Amino acid sequence: MTTPGAEGTSGPERSATVALVGRPNAGKSTLMNRFLAEKLAIVSDKPQTTRHRIVGILSGPRGQLVFYDTPGVHRPQHRMNRQMVRTAVDSLGEADIVCMLVDVSQSFGAGDRFMLDLVAGCDATRILALNKVDLIAKPKLLPRMALYGESELFAEIVPISALTGDGVETLLEFLWLAAPAGEPIYDRELLTIHPERFLVAELIREKVLAETRDELPFSTTVLIEQWQEPAAGEDASRVPLKIFASILVERPGQKRILVGKGGQKIKSIGVAARLDLQEFLERPVYLELHVRHEPGWRENPRLLAALDRSLGR
């Protein structure tokens, strides 16, 4: 994908990779989308929405920042979740800058202490974003700033709201200042390095998250079964791209929930996903969804590998 308005540069350029890390539901995906002014990472109010490292590329006159939107760090209970946490931890060691996000609307706890210990072990420049300040009163924010300040781990501590945009430009300025001089890592026209089918599967999964509650979002995933481009000579602006995808669930009861009475639930998911996909891909889309019962898929290395292959990763 490409980023609109990517410009050339003049004078010394800055270039850096920036790992956005934190506990589940800290707002990492919302923040990256805000930085890019583009909905690249899917967003949900449910923890553990991000399962892979999503790469977003911001290019402009000052240079290039490459963001890693990482899965939330949590106590893993399945093979898939262990992979997620490993992805987040690995990003700490690979990035030039670590931007740790904290949801200040939640009380400080053992998970926050664990995040501090993780961040303390990396050599990158560390910047702290205290997110969701729109949800708390300022007197409650000051003690949290003091608490993190006492750790002496962070070059900057910035209160923000990724949702409203408050403080985000200030945070971005600090990230630019922390970036070393260097050439862009990727082509300036790129918005991401991920193939379309990966982003398509994520957008479908976002609609599943929006339509489900309780444990169901954690035990579902989307598998792209077929991807059929228009035939040679056909007008792609009129002939739809055909996408056939399966939503995997672990238990028969979950399949019944997703299908819904008379198939209404899966139909509403499909309609919402198709509309988003057509806007995202800027072309007509035919989408067919099926719900597939796959017991224990989160522990199945063969199926997890097949998922990666189906998404072109």
Same domain for 161 and 201?
no
Q: What is the arithmetic mean of pLDDT over 225-232?
A: 94
Q: Is residue 87 part of a domain?
A: yes
Same domain for 168 and 245?
no
Provide the domain count of the chain: 2
What pLDDT does 5 receive?
A: 38
Per-residue pLDDT tens for 243-275? 999 999 999 999 998 999 999 999 999 999 999
What pLDDT does 270 receive?
A: 97
Same domain for 155 and 273?
no
Same domain for 57 and 159?
yes
Tally the C-alpha atoms within 13 A of residue 204's C-alpha that lie toward its C-beta: 30
- 108: Cα separation from own chain's centroid: 23
Q: How does DSSP assign 71-90, residue by residue?
A: PPP----SHHHHHHHHHHHH
In which band, very low, low, confident or very high, does the pLDDT at 227 lie, cut at 50, 70 and 90?
A: very high
Q: Is 84 a residue whose pLDDT tops 90?
A: no
What pLDDT does 303 receive?
A: 80
For 245, the 3-state DSSP assignment is strand
Mean pLDDT of the chain: 88
Same domain for 158 and 246?
no
Q: What would you report as the CA-atom Rg of the chain, rounded to the nearest whole angstrom?
A: 20
Backbone angles phi, psi at 280, to 5 degrees: -65, -45
- Give the domain range for residue 203: 196-310
What pLDDT does 3 receive?
A: 43
CA distance 299 to 289: 23
Q: Is residue 30 part of a domain?
A: yes
Same domain for 26 and 139?
yes
Judged on CB neighbours under 10 Å (0-12, 13-18, 19+), 196 is: middle
For 200, the 3-state DSSP assignment is helix
Contacts of 91 (CB under 8 A, 6+ apart): 19, 21, 53, 68, 70
Confirm if 20 and 32 have CB atoms less than 8 A apart: yes
Higher pLDDT, 209 or 186: 186
What pLDDT does 82 receive?
A: 72
Q: Of 178, 208, 226, which residue constitutes the final position of a domain? A: 178
What pLDDT does 13 receive?
A: 94
What pLDDT does 302 receive?
A: 83
User: Burial letters for 217-239: b for 16+ Cβ neighbours within 10 Å, e otherwise?
Assistant: bbbbbbbbeeeeebeeeeeeeee
In which band, very low, low, confident or very high, does the pLDDT at 7 lie, cut at 50, 70 and 90?
A: very low
Q: Is 4 a residue whose pLDDT tops 50?
A: no
Same domain for 104 and 224?
no
Q: Order of strands, edge to edge, in the sheet holding 156-159?
A: 54-60, 63-69, 14-22, 97-103, 125-131, 156-159
Q: What is the arithmetic mean of pLDDT over 132-153?
A: 95
Same domain for 148 and 64?
yes
Q: Of 178, 205, 225, which residue constitutes the final position of a domain? A: 178
- pTM for the whole structure: 0.85
Q: Is 148 a residue whose pLDDT tops 60?
A: yes
What pLDDT does 68 receive?
A: 95
